[in-house]
Amino acid sequence: MAPVQQEGKLVAPLLPRAADDGAATCSGRRVDGEGASFQGAVLNLSTTIIGAGIMSIPATVKVLGVVPAMLVILVVAFLSDVSIEFLLRFTDAGTSTSYSGVMSESFGRLGRLILQMCVAITTMGTTTVYLIII
């Protein structure tokens, strides 16, 4: 794939074009069977995320029992709703547009640090779960 010139500047395209090497196009379709399309990658990621969540529900019900598991699901749904409400209210009231910025404006430096630690722990945990599932 050769560099392209636009307005006298060299520009490297992010994706190869079918005319360049025939491997892929920007339309999302595979041309010669090499690699995956953008839509295929999005679908694969979506099914991985949804599949991991759905697969964890039966194990939770088995460990906790039906009634406690449903109560936990309802409590988590309620807490998610409340946290989104708080996030929307503080975003409208403040000047920050990022999640960590809203935490910093609302709870100071300690709140921002706690948020970053929670995000790091959650990311490491979900990555571990996906490695176990896959």
pLDDT level of residue 88 (50, 70, 90 thresholds): confident
Q: Which among 128, 110, 130 has a CA at the least distance from the CA of 118?
A: 110
Tens-place pLDDT, residues 2-51:
556 667 666 655 555 555 444 444 555 555 556 778 888 888 877 777 77
Each as own residue / partner, the long-range contacts of residues 37-43 (CB below 8 Å, 24 or more positions apart, any chain) are none
Given the structure tokens 């999640």, which residue do they identify?
99
Flag whether pLDDT at 84 surpasses 70: yes
